[in-house]
Amino acid sequence: MKKEANVRIANDGLKGFLGRARDHARKLDRGEKLAPEITISFENPSDILQILSPQRIRVLQFAKKLFAKKNHSSTPVSALASGLNRDTRAVSRDVELLEQFGLLRTRYEINPGHGRRRIVEPRAEKFHLIATV
């Protein structure tokens, strides 16, 4: 996380997307800089709840906590699983899904004497969850 970015998770669909795009275009027309931001939109609030289950939220929170605690050093999936008292395969599946939606970033690095290990980093320091029902 070189730049501080916000991740916004919303269920405002196409209308919200077009509104944000219009606001960004107006800011750019005025010569203003845009803050780094990642927006993930869902049309249905229940879709958000499927992606952000309580266990996946714990994975996100723990990854952020370890990242900050280790002075922005990356965390292996095995350390996340151990810290959360969960099976490594289950945490790995959750990490993969959260990465697909842009909330986490992973990479592989050499684990001397043991092959490779998957390293996890949060994509942002703050996550904003916005749901309208």
Per-residue pLDDT tens, the chain, 133 aa: give them. Answer: 444 556 667 667 777 778 888 888 898 889 888 777 777 777 777 777 778 888 998 998 888 888 877 666 778 899 899 999 999 999 999 999 999 888 888 999 888 888 888 999 888 777 777 666 6
What's the whole-model pTM score? 0.72
Enumerate the domain spans of the chain.
Answer: 6-130
Question: Residue 96: what pLDDT?
Answer: 93
* Locus of tokens 């070189």: 2
Query: Could you give the strand order of the β-sheet that contains 37-41, starting from the edge strand earlier in sequence?
Result: 37-41, 6-10, 126-130
Amino acid at 39: T
CATH class held by domain 6-130: mainly alpha
CA distance 9 to 129: 5
